[in-house]
Amino acid sequence: MKFSKHPSRVEVFYWFLKKLTIMKLTIALILVFNLNSFAKTYSQTRITLDVHGAELKKVLGLIEKQSDYHFLFSDRRLPADKKVDVSAKNEDVLKVLNRMLTDAGFAYYELNNKLIVITQAGGGQVTIPISGRVISDKGVPLAGASIRIKGTNVGIATDSAGNFSLNVDNSNAVLIISYLGYQSLEVPVSRQAMTITLQTSLSSMDDVVVVGYGQQKKIDLTGSVASLNGDKDLAWKPVGQLSEALQGTVSGVTVTQGSGQPGSDQGVIRIRGIGTFNDNDPLVLVDGVQYNINDVDANDIASVSVLKDAAASAIYGIRAANGVILITTKRGSAGKSHISYSDYFGWQKPTRLSDYVGAQEYMKLSNELYENSGSAAIFTDSVINQYSNPNRDKDLYPDNDWIRLILLGSGFQQQHSLSLSGGAENIKYRFSTNYFDQKGLIDNMGFQRLTVRLNTDINVTKRLTFSADISARLANQTMPQDNGTGSAFFQFSEANIMNPTLVNKYSDGTWGIGRGDGNPIRVQQQGGIYAYKSNLFTGNFRATYDIVKGLTLTGLAQVNYTSDYNSMNTIALPYYNFFATPHTVLNTIGQNTITKEYGGAWFRDFQGLAEYHKEIGEHSFKLLAGLSSLSQRYDSLSGYRLNLTSTSLTQINAYGANGETNTGTANEYDLVSFFGRLNYSYHDKYLFEANLRRDGSSRFFPGQQWGTFPSFSAGWRISSEDFMLNQNIFQDLKLRGSWGELGNDNTLAATGSALTNYPYQSTYVLGSYPFGGTLNPTSALNAVPNNGLTWETTKMTDVGVDATVLQKHLDLTFDYYVKNTDNILYQLPIPQSVGLNASYQNAFSMQNRGWELSANYHGRAGHDFRYNVGFNLSDVLNKITDMRGADYQSTNSNGITQGWETGMPIGAYYGYQAQGIFKTAADVTGHATQPGNVGPGDLIYKDQNKDGTVDDKDWVYLGSNIPRYTYGVNLGAGYKGFDLSALLQGVGKVDVNDMIMRGGPTSRDNNFKSFMANAWTAANPNATYPRLSTGKQNYTSSSYWIQSAAYLRLKSVQIGYTVPAKWLPKSSFTRVRFYVSGQNLFTITKLEKDIDPEALNDNRYYPQVKTYTFGANVDF
């Protein structure tokens, strides 16, 4: 727990002090982590007092208020009626105390932290020093755990290495050790150093979770918030990107990972489905500031909160429609310095590779393909028969499995993580660094990332605290050149198209030219390198000032700068004619070129917050008011030259100026916001919260820039009612309900990928056209203007239940929600006869309706075996509720038809209903006329309207690619030093059009997958796969290509062993743990075995990978 930034920390402390004076305490306890707020200042050591016949306790209270001393005393020994007289004017506290207490027959001694213990004068003290260390069930030292002597309130907190020492007055004393998120434990004291292991708490209801601009106890939440622990839920997974680690952990959150390419393997995160036609990415805030989730090192994360409903996220207004993810990083705590190091080494393998036919089968199938399409056979029997001879001339008759040949990369990955934390009372720090290096399945393809973070907390004065967090991320993604754009796509697409009869290397080492575009293997090894460097620097500065009791002001300045520097070098590769003597150049592929791209993005966010907390009896009020000014600017510049002078030089100036080009641009975005929140609770039983945010966005036309987003939520803790006192079913039961509005100003550009900052603008795009051998400027009107544009609004209603049952062994959470998005910003397709791009409109409305269930069970068998099972399941039903009469369907360049129609899911699949395969020519003529050259062996499409012609009027709904029944199962178990973690994850219902993945080639310049050998032929009339053909009649949207992409995957599994402390050399290591883990180890799905259900793209893309890793964690 990090309390230093917690706004209610001071309130907690005052509440605590108040209790101290009221309750029948023996000796007070103040935990070190609660003391973080007390500045050790030197100004408040003098006091002025003039009281007569006052109660001693009250006088002590007055001294506390004037000074920064605090008193610990026993009510029993300090009777309430003890009266004293004190008179002091600007006098030293200790002098005054000494005088006052001696007069009254008491003595005192001073502890650390300006704590003063008051005892009876002359009372002899027995002291037995004891010490020890508190660790978690995974062997991690617990900093800030509370140690209390049973029956007293004497206690102390552990330091950052989990160590503690204190004195007891009785050798039979018992210590009570407690730590948030863990079960409390009672241990008899011993004179030897003790090692105390705490077990993970049974119920997460005791947790404190981070919410927008603050923290709340989980039991007090009225919104739908899921929380994760950095170490327990995320950092153990051997993945390169944090987004991947989120997969399967939270109900209602779907993460899909489309690629395993190093540096491009980020997961796509969707909270409660797809809410808009635009950007559906949630807002991610790290310590309160906008971030890319993948720029955070999982080892730095203390906690993650996912805000799912409007009540929880409305405080973020116009940015929150897709949900919010709040990440809190770990911070230092006072005490001995603590060093932690972990690493792992892993190897990646593709999850799936296509199984292609060999050369001989390829030639037979090519002949079949062309003969089916009216052409002659291409390969004669004599050539085909050559392949039966194992001693054939392989220069003439090669047989290559290209998809496996190109996998020349080691797939090795490693990660090293080091953290150093500690501090004194007034300054605490945590430094961490992480290096991640991932090599690809392809040679010269990889990703390296170095992150550095320094979080510091400074108590400037008693009232003023300051924290400065600085972090950097240096990333470098590399890949071999291709002949055009530079990507893994070239390698995998070539390897999946290249047929087995193409030569890789002739017998004398001459490279084969591939399909004529170059040999991907040679390009991997001898081509230029495309390197994408991205450097991020962030500074997050926060000052908190406690003005008066209950009122805190916070100022926050956050600046980050991303600097991308890409270098794309291509090298011309000549290919030679092996059959000519001497070898002549066949063709030189590519040119010697260099492109350098620079992009710089500034992000600035300044925030001011005021918080006020007040309790009146059982009424508790919290008020928050804030303002924020956020601005972004992106600049880019690129230069290109060709005509290289030396292949080893890769700078612009190393190339000739002839043919050089340059481009550059910039864009800006500003958001100004005001927001407020009221929390009210009565008796901690009836909870209420209201949020209001007003945002002004530069993305809209003046007059339409400002939007207001309210939310309301309420909770009823039924289990706290009197009538629930005698039941033993629910240890906790809460009913929640919320309603709120959220906004979105994020629009995708016409390309469908980039965001645009000027959606309402109609502009002239500048270009050029040559006249008379010189470029002349041109300017094109880019779109139909629309000045009425404004933000999208999402209204969300949520009802939920939280319950803890089975004696706190099982936590249950269920939510049902309806999310309506209106005024969706969209470039409504317009007829092309308009001749301009469509402008953005507030076009459509959409609804997502769903439910989420999560259950977490913590169990224990015997003393040593403990386990937990977490299960989450969610469903979302998406439908377009209003298209304003503009319903449409559209067929993409792959021939896949999708619809945007009222009452149907967004982008649903449409097409013909396939009814089997024509077996005879008579079948063809007997059926309605189908498009294309149809013959036996082709798919039969149903003539839905029975008009004798199969055309677009016969299209029907075929399925939706929006996943339903997304689930995850998290397993954890421990036995003595062994621990096991596993995550199973999957989707219960989703459709995919796998035509581009399963469809056959339409030309010889392609390869056949093994199952295509069973395609329909006259001799194989009962085949289920249509005939091979150069025509597209079977490769159009139809139900034949719609498959269920439901799956279950063992996403992550890890087995660890913590070396018993007694085996470790004293005073150096405090923990040593080794582990093995695996990622994507097995998958159950009905899809064709070379289709990865998570990465539903064809195998021209970099595959998903399975990873096997070995690692260690060491603490000093």
Partner 1 sequence: MLTFKTAIMKRSSNYIFFLLIIFTVSCKKQLDKQPLDQVASTTYWQTQSDAVQAVNQCYGYLTDIDDDCFLSCATDDSYAWSGWPVDVPSVGNGSATAQQGMFDQHWSHSYSAIASANNVLDNIGNIPSSALADTLRSRYRAEARFIRAYYYQQLIGYYGAAPLIEHIQTPAQFDPARTSVDSVAAFVVSELTVIKDSLPLTYGAADQGRVTRGAALALLARTQLYQGDYTDAAAAAQAVMNLGIYSIDQNGFDNLFSGKTANSPEVILAGQYLQPTYASGLATWMGGPTLGGWSEVTPTEKLVDDYECTDGQPITTSPLYHANHPAQNRDPRLLMTVMMPDTINVVNGDTINIEAPHSIDGLGQNNASFTGYYYKKYFPNVVNGQYYNNSFNNEILIRYAEVLLTYAEAKIELGQIDQSVYDAINQVRQRAGVGQPAATAVLYPDQASLRTLVRRERHVEFAVEPQRLFDIRRWKIADSVMPGPVYGVLNNFNSSRSDYGQHVQVEIRAFNPNRDYLWAIPQNELLLNKNLTQNPGW
Binding residues for partner 1 restricted to 980-1009, rule: CB under 8 A: 1002-1005
- Compute the C-alpha angle 263/265/270, nearest 5°: 130
State residue 323 phi and psi, 5-degree precision: 90, 165
Residues 247-306 that bind partner 1 (CB under 8 A): none
Q: Annotate each residue in 893-932 with x if it binds partner 1 (CB under 8 A) or - if it does not, as one string.
A: x-x-x---------------------------------xx
Under the binding rule (CB under 8 A), the answer on residue 777 touching partner 1 is: yes
582 preceded by a cis bond (ω within 30 of 0): yes
Q: What's the closest the beta carbon of residue 372 comes to partner 1, in angstroms? A: 11
Answer for the pair 615, 630: CB distance below 8 angstroms, yes or no: no
> CB of 370 within 8 A of CB of 1016?
no
For residue 998, the Cα-to-chain-centroid distance in whole angstroms is 31
The whole-angstrom separation of Cα 494 and Cα 403 is 9
Nearest-approach distance from CB 4 to partner 1, in angstroms: 22
Q: Can you read off the two tokens belonging to residue 52?
A: 């007569």
Task: Determine how β-strand 163-168 pairs with β-strand 128-136.
Answer: antiparallel
CB of 887 to partner 1, least distance (A): 9
**151 is a site residue for partner 1 (CB under 8 A):** no
- Shortest distance, position 914 Cβ to partner 1, whole Å: 16
Q: What six digits make up the tokens of 258?
A: 């489309």
In the window 33-52, what residues touch partner 1 (CB under 8 A)?
A: none
CB of 306 to partner 1, least distance (A): 30
Q: Which of residues 550-609 bind partner 1 (CB under 8 A)?
A: 551, 553, 577-579, 586-587, 589, 591, 608
Task: Report the DSSP pairing between strands 128-136 and 194-198.
Answer: parallel
Contacts of residue 795, Cβ cutoff 8 Å, sequence gap at least 6: 310, 739, 740, 741, 742, 819, 820, 821, 822
* Residue from 171, 708, 778, 881 binding partner 1 (CB under 8 A): 778
Structure tokens that stand for 499 in this block: 């047929």
The footprint of partner 1 on residues 1023-1082 (CB under 8 A) is 1030-1033, 1036
Taking the least distance from each CB to partner 1, the nearer of 127 and 389 is 389
Judged by CB under 8 A, does residue 702 bind partner 1? yes
* Residue 729 binds to partner 1 (criterion: CB under 8 A): no
Q: Give the residue carrying structure tokens 């000014």.
A: 629
Structure tokens at 1031: 């025509």
Q: Comparing C-alpha atoms, which of 1033, 914, 1047 is closest to residue 991?
A: 1047
* Residues β-bridged to residue 524: none
Instruction: For residue 1064, give every residue at least 6 positions away whose Cβ sits within 8 Å of its Cβ, in sequence order, or none.
Output: 1070, 1071, 1072
Decide whether 327 or 630 has the Cβ nearer to partner 1.
Answer: 630
Evaluate whether 129 touches 136 at the Cβ level (below 8 Å). Answer: no
Within positions 531 to 560, which residues make up the interface with partner 1, using CB under 8 A?
547-548, 551, 553
Shortest Å, Cβ 995 to partner 1: 14
- Among 667, 915, 1010, 1044, the residue binding partner 1 under the rule CB under 8 A is 667
Does 670 bind partner 1 (CB under 8 A)? Our answer is: yes
d(CA 542, CA 739): 32
Stretch that binds partner 1, among 668-676, 871-879, 917-925, 1042-1050 (CB under 8 A): 668-676
Cβ proximity to partner 1: between 976 and 1032 the closer is 1032
Taking contact as CB under 8 A, which single stretch among the options 418-426, 437-445, 644-652, 888-896 is the one that binds partner 1?
A: 888-896
How many whole angstroms separate alpha carbon 480 and alpha carbon 495?
A: 14
Positions 342 through 381 that interact with partner 1 (CB under 8 A):
373-380
**Is residue 61 a contact point for partner 1 (CB under 8 A)?**
no
Distance CA 82, CA 1 (A): 40
Would you say 932 or 977 has its CB closer to partner 1?
932
Cβ proximity to partner 1: between 113 and 902 the closer is 902
Query: Among 200, 336, 162, which Cα is nearest to 1061's?
Result: 162
Q: How far is the CB of 780 from partner 1 (least distance, A)?
A: 5
Q: By C-alpha distance, which of 178, 306, 200, 316 is closest to 254?
A: 306
Among residue numbers 617 through 636, which ones bind partner 1 (CB under 8 A)? 627, 629, 631
Q: Can you tell me the distance from the alpha carbon of 400 to that of 960, in angstroms, rounded to the nearest whole number?
A: 38
Query: Which residues between 734 and 773 bind partner 1 (CB under 8 A)?
Result: 757-758, 761-773
By the 8 A CB rule, do 432 and 418 touch?
yes
The 10 Å Cβ neighbour count of residue 969 is: 18
Report the alpha-carbon distance of residue 861 to residue 820 in Å, rounded: 46
Q: Closest separation between CB of residue 821 and partner 1, Å?
A: 23
Q: How far is the CB of 825 from partner 1 (least distance, A)?
A: 16
Q: Binders of partner 1 among 445-464, rule CB under 8 A?
A: none
Site track 478-517 with partner 1 (rule: CB under 8 A), x = hit:
-----xx--------------x--x----------xxxxx
Residue among 173 and 784 whose Cβ is closer to partner 1: 784
The count of residues interacting with partner 1 (CB under 8 A) is: 109
Using the structure block, give the residue that is written with the tokens 């005939």: 1027
Binding residue (CB under 8 A) for partner 1 from 26, 782, 902, 1044: 782
- DSSP bridge pairs for 866: 860, 974
Q: Are 278 and 746 contacting, i.e. CB atoms less than 8 angstroms apart?
A: yes
829 is a contact residue toward partner 1 (CB under 8 A): yes
Question: What is the CB neighbour count within 10 angstroms for residue 192?
Answer: 9
Using the rule CB under 8 A, give the single segment among 283-291, 776-784, 869-877, 980-988 that binds partner 1: 776-784
Chain residues 847-886 in contact with partner 1, contact rule CB under 8 A: none
1019: how many CB neighbours lie within 10 A of its CB? 6
Which of these ranges, 100-108, 186-194, 411-419, 781-789, lies near partner 1 under the rule CB under 8 A? 781-789
| Sign (positive or negative) of CA dihedral 735, 739, 745, 751 | positive
- Closest contact distance (angstroms) between CB of 377 and partner 1 is 5
Among 888, 921, 1014, 1024, binds partner 1 (CB under 8 A): 888
DSSP state of 912: B
Residues 164-183 that bind partner 1 (CB under 8 A): none
Taking CB under 8 A as the criterion, the residue among 698, 720, 902, 1010 binding partner 1 is: 698
Q: Tell me how far, at minimum, the Cβ of 826 lies from partner 1, in Å.
A: 14
Is the Cβ of residue 186 or residue 952 nearer to partner 1 in the bound state?
952
Task: Select the residue interacting with partner 1 from 71, 362, 492, 669 (CB under 8 A).
Answer: 669
Does 675 sit near partner 1 (CB under 8 A)?
no
Q: Which of residues 382-421 bind partner 1 (CB under 8 A)?
A: 382-383
Residue 391, Cβ density class (10 Å: 0-12 exposed, 13-18 middle, ≥19 buried)? exposed
The verdict on 153 binding partner 1 (CB under 8 A) reads no
CB of 776 to partner 1, least distance (A): 5
Q: Which is nearer to partner 1, 618 or 952 (CB)?
A: 952
CA dihedral 1000→1004→1009→1012, nearest 10 degrees, is 60
- State which residue, 126 or 766, has the beta carbon closest to partner 1: 766
Helix or strand or coil: residue 382? helix
Cβ closer to partner 1: 236 or 910? 910
- Which of 690, 830, 877, 1013 is close enough to bind partner 1 by CB under 8 A? 830
Output the smallest distance, CB 98 to partner 1, in A: 24
The whole-angstrom separation of Cα 665 and Cα 734 is: 53
What's the half-sphere exposure (Cβ side, CA atoms, 13 Å) at 824? 24
State whether the Cα torsion 779-780-785-789 is positive or negative: negative
Its sign, for the CA torsion 846, 790, 310, 308, is positive
637-656 residues in contact with partner 1 (CB under 8 A) are 642
Compute the least distance from the CB of residue 750 to partner 1, in Å.
Answer: 13
